[in-house]
Amino acid sequence: MDSNVLCKCREDSEEQKKYDEIRNIIDLYRGKEGCLIQVLHAAQKIYGYLPLELQRFIADALNIPFSEVSGVVSFYSFFSVKPRGEHTIRVCLGTACYVRGGKKLVEHIQKTLDVELGGTTSDGKFTFEVARCIGACGLAPAIMIDDVVYKQMTPTKLDSLLAKFYERGGEK
Amino acid sequence: MLNLTINGKAVTAPEGSTILEAAKYNHIKIPTLCHLDNIHSIGSCRICVVEVEGARTLQAACITKAVDGMVIETNSERVQKARKVLYELLMSDHNDDCLNCKRNTTCELQELGKMLGVEQSRFEGEQSSSPLDVSVSITRDLSKCVLCRRCITVCNEIQGVGILNAQNRGFETVIGPGMDLPLGSVNCSFCGQCTVVCPVGALKETSSVEKVWAAINDKSKRVVVQVAPAIRVAIGEEFGLPAGTRVTGKLASALSYLGFDDIFDTNWAADLTIIEEGTEFLNRVKNALTGRKSVLPMITSCSPGWIKFIEHTFPDQVAHLSTCKSPHMMMGAVVKSYYAAKLGIRPEDMFVVSIMPCTAKKSEIVRSEMKNNGVPNVDAVLTCRELADMIKEAGIDFVNLPDREFDVPLGMSSGAADIFGITGGVMEAALRTVYELVTGRELPFDKLHVTPIVGLERIKEATIKIENPLEQYSYLDGLEVKVAVTSGLKGARILMEQIARGESPYHFIEVMGCPGGCITGGGQPRSADPEVREKRLKNLYDEDESKTIRKSHENPYIISFYKEFLGEPNSHLAHELLHTHYVKRGKYNEHTTETFVLDVPKPEKRSIRTVKAAEPQEMPETVKVRSREELESVTILNLEAENKRLKRELEDTLETVDILKRVIADYVQQGK
């Protein structure tokens, strides 16, 4: 199993470092039944997403068929095969948030960030998704950026919130 | 034994049976779709549901173990209704273009619908859409896939290659190689075992039937056909004959009736292969014993599925492969050189068709190595199933055909060639010749069968000691030749890993890509007989024993061919025509750019209606009048409908205004 032949794209050391880190994690799990999902989780955390090359790398390192790896990756919506932004915005479109303006927020984000639903901004800052009820109906319309819920959002409030992310990479 | 009650009758069944097995044991048929006896039982299609007393829900009979005292209803009203609904739901997302489907009348889904008495389809909804994936060997049409996952089991568990697996989720689920990659671009060996188990038209060989008809109908072409050994004990099944029936003579007749110009036998080339491969083996052993460079064990190269597998999976070990082309490629090369010269025809004007039990052979013929002077050795490969279709299409009454011989010179063969179609057969054929060549004596086995390597086990081995060889082979005296035989890619992987670790004790290995060998290749008839492998195997050994000449080197047409044309085995000309080299592909094709994806343009539909519209005809007056009336009545109906809709909208708006008025009133009151 010569994984170096696999990836000619890993010339820069940043990339190589990530692969080494993933390799270390795989070494911890190797031989354990049903470890694929954990490995994929860790790999996505390190690499940001799970491109074809990385899926093949994981398949070879775990000695399982590639089609099995891609089968699991494509089954769970948490896994992404496309690059993800630094932050993930999820606009809630559950019933409460929807009627209180969630849809307007979606349109607003699409316009101001110039990003399609499910896509990532060209500067790689945000990945934009919608959620079906995040359980914060009392705070409608709610959005999530990464793990934080923001309540009663309006386009204006959203603009200043996003500006903060651009200023210092977060609100905290 | 278990005591059960099935459909009100007290019955018994062996311990450990599933409900399905228990019912079958008592001659009660429970319909199934995804289930494959002893191979695949996951209970995903739910068609086999039965009612079990005490159980809240219906149980899938194929995966539920029968328990002593169980009371089972296999055909109650509840069961019947459930099965029908399940079936109709399956059909609601099935491309039911049955009349144009290759599997029409041989489709298990169709048969099931008939058995369940389904005569309507009540569910209509979204249809999943998947583009057709056409490779040189195998075509995937996922619009027909029923997600039974038999192909996954065969690909992963039996062959151990794992090309096919379920991708995505829910309604979007498809079976494929992942990341939407086409089959022709990945490390699929094209063994075609998935096409054998597919119950519907989702996985099948990529058809070459039209191409072959076109060649037959092209009067400027000399169309030569050849038949692999395993076809003669299988094709009869397509015409209702029992599994394994020997139909060699009828097969040759049918080919002649179809209009082929020369009816040759790949068997002849199998004899040729033995001479070339046997000589190559002796040279490799000689080199190894005399300290020269040599790669051992040598592995057979007749099975193109196996070849593609090793090129992808063990690219660094391809030097172990014999350089011999597979027999039908040798035949093609000989037809377009030796035979073309005999007839005085240009190789370009010859068209060679191979009837093969194999889907991988379809990809073998397009490889760039399989050409001489720019002319492909073989022009088209038909699977056994495709040939049967052509025979049916031509209206030939196969079962009642008279027997016919193959044509000379390339149709005469020894018994050794027949057994090329069975696991262990190539090795046995090679040993019959090599042993006799070296010692001057016949191979010391009863009826010449090397018993340790006969049978359907995954890996078989034998040791043959060479004693008192002829003088020119004295260096072999006392050598214990160790051979191994495997069929199926799982066994091949085990032997290859041993080689890669440098621990292989063998001199010579035979590998066939499909479990059991070519008799159950990916292009063979789909059989419902559980003993089909044993039956085809036995009959092919019978075919061997029925011949007077049973050793390749005694085939008179092989002897004369060397005298007339090639000179010596492994001669320069032999190398040019009959030997090849291999491509290091790698698991992800990282060492090559060659793929086997076919870009097939969608056939243009000719609409009968537009043709009519192109030439307008004067309509009779009455028709005109009526159609104007109809037009007017349609307009009125439309206006009425619009009116109704507007009225409803108005009502809705008034209601909303009413609610809003009340809300405002509330607020006003609160404000006060």
pLDDT digits (tens, 9 = 90+) for B482-517: 999 999 999 999 999 999 999 999 999 999 999 999
Residue whose pair of structure tokens reads 């037009």 in the numeric block? B631
Answer yes or no: do A114 and A69 share one domain. Answer: no
Mean pLDDT, rounded, for B122-150: 91
Q: Is residue A80 part of a domain?
A: no
Answer yes or no: do A60 and A117 share one domain. Answer: no
Which one of A50, A54, A57, A66 makes the best mutation probe of the B interface by having the most chain B beta carbons within 10 Å? A66
* Domain termination site, one of A38, A53, A75: A75
Lowest-confidence range among B51-65, B126-140, B315-329, B341-355? B126-140
Count of domains in chain A? 2
Which spans in B508-566 are helix H? 532-545, 556-561
A positions 68-87 inside 8 Å of B (CB): 68-71, 74-76, 81
* Residue B572 pLDDT exceeds 70: yes
pLDDT tens digits for range B409-419: 999 999 999 99
- The yes or no reply on domain B128-205 and CATH 3.30.390.30 is no
Alpha-carbon gap, residue B338 to A51, rounded angstroms: 53
Mean pLDDT, rounded, for B153-172: 95
Lowest-confidence range among A102-111, B119-128, B358-367, B445-454? B119-128
B369 is catalytic: yes
What does the pLDDT read at residue B629? 53
Kindly list the residues from chain B whose CB atom is less than 8 angstroms away from the CB atom of residue A52: 179
Q: Is residue A82 part of a domain?
A: no
Alpha-carbon gap, residue B270 to A145, rounded angstroms: 69
Residue B157 is classified by DSSP as: I
Answer yes or no: do A9 and A70 share one domain. Answer: yes
- CATH number of the structural domain B2-98: 3.10.20.740
Q: Is residue A144 part of a domain?
A: yes
The active-site residue, picked from B364, B386, B436, B543, is: B364
Whether B165 and A68 lie within 8 Å, measured CB to CB: yes
**pLDDT confidence bin for A6, thresholds 50/70/90:** very low
Mean of per-residue pLDDT scores for chain B: 93
Domain ranges of chain B: 2-98, 128-205, 209-578
Q: Is residue A81 part of a domain?
A: no
Rounded to 5, what percent of chain B is helix, strand, coil?
Answer: 45, 15, 40
B188 is catalytic: no
* Domain termination site, one of A51, A75, A99: A75
Question: Which tokens go with B216?
Answer: 């037959």
Q: Percent of chain B at pLDDT above 90? A: 85
Kindly list the residues from chain B whose CB atom is less than 8 angstroms away from the CB atom of residue A5: 586, 590-591
**pLDDT confidence bin for A131, thresholds 50/70/90:** confident
Q: Rounded to the nearest 5 degrees, what angle is found at the Cα of B396, between the Cα atoms of B390 and B400?
A: 135
B positions 570-599 inside 8 Å of A (CB): 586-588, 590-591
Alpha-carbon gap, residue B313 to B296, rounded angstroms: 19
Q: Report yes or no: A6 at the B interface, CB cutoff 8 Å.
A: yes
B554 is catalytic: no
**pLDDT confidence bin for A130, thresholds 50/70/90:** confident
Answer yes or no: do A92 and A160 share one domain. Answer: yes
The active-site residue, picked from B41, B135, B143, B322, is: B322
Which spans in B177-243 are helix H? 193-197, 209-217
Kindly list the residues from chain B whose CB atom is less than 8 angstroms away from the CB atom of residue A74: 167-169, 178-179
Which one of A74, A75, A77, A81 makes the best mutation probe of the B interface by having the most chain B beta carbons within 10 Å? A74
**pLDDT confidence bin for B608, thresholds 50/70/90:** low
Answer yes or no: do A117 and A51 share one domain. Answer: no
Answer yes or no: do A161 and A94 share one domain. Answer: yes
Whether B169 and A74 lie within 8 Å, measured CB to CB: yes
* Domain termination site, one of A19, A46, A75: A75
Answer yes or no: do A30 and A92 share one domain. Answer: no
pLDDT tens digits for range B649-665: 888 888 888 888 888 88
- Residue A142, domain CATH: 3.40.30.10
Number of other residues whose CB lies within 10 A of the CB of residue B207: 17
**pLDDT confidence bin for B603, thresholds 50/70/90:** low
Closest CA to B229 of B416, B455, B396: B416
Q: Is residue A104 part of a domain?
A: yes
Mean of per-residue pLDDT scores for chain A: 87
The active-site residue, picked from B45, B101, B384, B518, is: B518
- Positive or negative, the CA dihedral B187, B191, B196, B202 is positive
- The yes or no reply on domain B209-578 and CATH 3.40.50.1780 is yes
Kindly list the residues from chain A whose CB atom is less than 8 angstroms away from the CB atom of residue B147: none
State which residues form the domain around A37.
3-75
Alpha-carbon gap, residue B354 to B398, rounded angstroms: 19
Lowest-confidence range among A10-19, A27-36, B150-159, B263-272? A10-19
Q: State which H helix or E strand residue B480 sits in.
A: strand B480-487
Whether B588 and A71 lie within 8 Å, measured CB to CB: no
Extended strands (E) in B18-85: 49-52, 59-60, 71-73
Mean pLDDT, rounded, for B328-343: 97
**pLDDT confidence bin for B231, thresholds 50/70/90:** very high
In terms of Cβ atoms closer than 10 Å to its own Cβ (0-12, 13-18, 19+), residue B534 is middle
| Three-state secondary structure call for residue B136 | coil
**pLDDT confidence bin for B638, thresholds 50/70/90:** confident
| H helix and E strand count, chain B | 21, 20
